[in-house]
Structures are given as C-alpha cells and as structure tokens.
A = this chain, B = another copy of it.
C-alpha cells in the first residue's frame, strides 16, 4: 500500500527494458507514466483478477511472480502461464471485456495498474507505444504456440526440462543467475502447467537429480548440466530431427 504513491516510475523502473517502455523515447516514457501511476501490492495466494471479472486494466509485473490459468467447462483448471517481472497480464480479456481466466500471485508481488482505455488512447497518439503493444500481443501468441508444441509433442521428461530452461533463461535475462533460482510455484502448479501430475513431476525431479543434471532443495534449483538438460528439452523424438 505504501508503494501506491511511491516515486517509482517507468523511467527508473528496474524492468523497463522488458516492459512497455522498451524502445520508447524519454519523452514518450514521460507520457506513458501518466497511465502507470497506480501500483498495487499482491500477497502470495491472492488474485489480481478472477475469471469473469470485467476487464478494465492490464497489469505489468514489477516484482514477484504469478500464475495465470483458465477454467474449463467441467471446472478443471489449466495453468497457462507463469509470469515474471516485465510481463503483462490480462491481454486475453480485451475481446469480450471479461477476464476468461484468473491470475494468482505465487509470492508477494508488485504490479503497475494500467487502465486500458487510457493506454489505448495514448497508443493512438504514440505510434511507438502502439507498436510495442502489438509486439507484446504477438510475442504472447508466439509463446503460447511454443507451449502448445510442448504439450502436444513432448514427453514428460522433455517438458520439465524445457520449463527449467525457460525459467532459467528468463531469470538470466533479468540479470539474475541462470543456474540458481527459486521456483516460486508448487509442484502441483508445475504439473498442471505441463499437463502432468504432481507425482510425475516429483519423480522426474528426483531422476534429473540422480543424473546430476540439477540439484534441488525444496523450491530452490541449481542447474548443473545445462547442455544435457537442453538436449532432453529439445529433441527426444523417435524420428530423426
């Protein structure tokens, strides 16, 4: 709450290079800050929005992490995304103006609240921002396509390896260690995201550990053999690649 009116702005935000301001001039960033004033702190387990909530804001993650998920007709849940700082949440709600899924904080997190109508209006005036919004939409689509590839074609082993590498690379891109990090989500969340069960995930983690690929202590992970892990993640198919 105290941060609601803090001095933090896009210009000096630690994730500005990964977020909306990317590629914008200082002048444009100044204008962008008019719509990014509002911050919000979310505690672990709390939701940013729920399925069915009206769509009014996008949320840019400043710190922490989230899972987003959709809920099927039968009530079954699919985790669709683990979101890290610099990423935007809520894009899939624009059409229909209702959030089709929910976003839940995996740890204490801080977000920028972006009233979409304001952002939209600004983008109309600032072509570079417009492009950046398209780019984020498009990037999201590309990522989901890759997730589809993962779920559709790969073995359980390959999926987990791919997730570890994906998270590793995303942390490293933010300036953190690529080899040591904390998985803020539960085994069940990981399993759900990968289309597996918690037991399978647990067994795979144990196996990777026995194979000296990783070292795990609860939720903290240290990658020992990134190359081998990449190979497992990449190609483990029956036909030659």
- A-to-B contact residues, CB < 8 Å: 70, 72-78, 80, 91-96, 100-101, 120, 123-124, 127, 130-131, 133-142, 144-149, 151-153, 192-195, 234-237, 239-241
* Contacting residues, chain B, for A131 (C-beta < 8 A): 120
CB <8 Å contact, B96 and A142: yes
Across the interface, A124 reaches (CB within 8 A) one of B96, B124, B195, namely: B124
CB <8 Å contact, B76 and A149: yes
CB <8 Å contact, B141 and A70: no
CB <8 Å contact, A137 and B78: no
In the bound complex, what is the Cα–Cα distance between A6 and B146 (angstroms)? Answer: 38
* Contacting residues, chain B, for A137 (C-beta < 8 A): 91, 94, 134, 137-138, 141
Q: A145-B101, A241-B75 are in contact. Are A138 and B192 (CB under 8 A)?
A: no
In the bound complex, what is the Cα–Cα distance between A193 and B152 (angstroms)? Answer: 7
Across the interface, A235 reaches (CB within 8 A) one of B73, B120, B148, namely: B73
